[in-house]
Amino acid sequence: MKGVYLLVAVLALTSSFVSAYDPSPLQDFCVALKEPDGVFVNGKFCKDPKTVKAEDFFLHVEPGNTDNPLNAQVTPVSVDQLPGLNTLGISLARIDFAPKGLNPPHTHPRGTEILIVLEGTLYVGFVTSNQDGNRLFTKVLNKGDVFVFPIGLVHFQLNVGYGNAVAIAGLSSQNPGTVIVANALFKAVPPISVEVLARALQVDNKVIEDLQRKSWYGKD
């Protein structure tokens, strides 16, 4: 009987690992196809393999336009931009920073991020969960340095150099998702109750109302 309990525990643990990440492909590739209207699946429909071309696996990425309030631009390369990524469990993003540019605190609910600096100097960090005491881990990165942001944790990158900076982020999901903390709190649709936010952040209602009236960049 102990053996049965052990087997059940192992299967449950294995199942939790499998369901926590993108499913493994069951064929060489499954190039994404636009879903028929009104039909949604957990992932993307597959193109007929006989019609797949090299272009389905190719994308040219231009430097991002940093002329915006944050002086930074994230250019994603996920399954939405590169159909060949479908079912492969990876994606990436190019992040361009003007001086003092910021990729603001955000999370990726479905992917771990590994970042390498190609140019410039970045101050980066992430915050652990409540259970771990919300500890802040930070590092100043220079060209060639690599840093990992665990799945689901709030993290950020700030250009602290005197010139532009460029980084490439790899993510462990074809569609890792992004939740920018400020946008989620103050530009939710419909808005989160002022009372809820004021009590949660321990500030006056007027402060929340002012924040909700602001135009938050990246809200699209």
| Size of the chain in residues | 220
- Tell me if 142 sits within 8 A of 121, measured CB to CB: yes
- Measured between alpha carbons, how far is 60 from 81 in angstroms, rounded to an integer? 10
Is 108 annotated in a binding site? The answer is: yes
107: β partners: 179
Pairing of strands 136-141, 165-171: unpaired
Tell me the torsion sign for CA atoms 105, 66, 170, 123. Answer: negative
Query: Where does residue 177 rank: exposed (0-12), middle (13-18), buried (19+ CB within 10 A)?
Result: middle
103 annotated to bind ligand: yes
> Cβ(93)–Cβ(169) under 8 Å?
yes
Please count the other Cβ atoms lying within 10 Å of the Cβ belonging to residue 14: 10
Task: List the binding residues for oxalate.
Answer: 103, 108, 113
- Show binding-site residues for Mn(2+): 106, 108, 113, 155
Annotated binding residues: 103, 106, 108, 113, 155
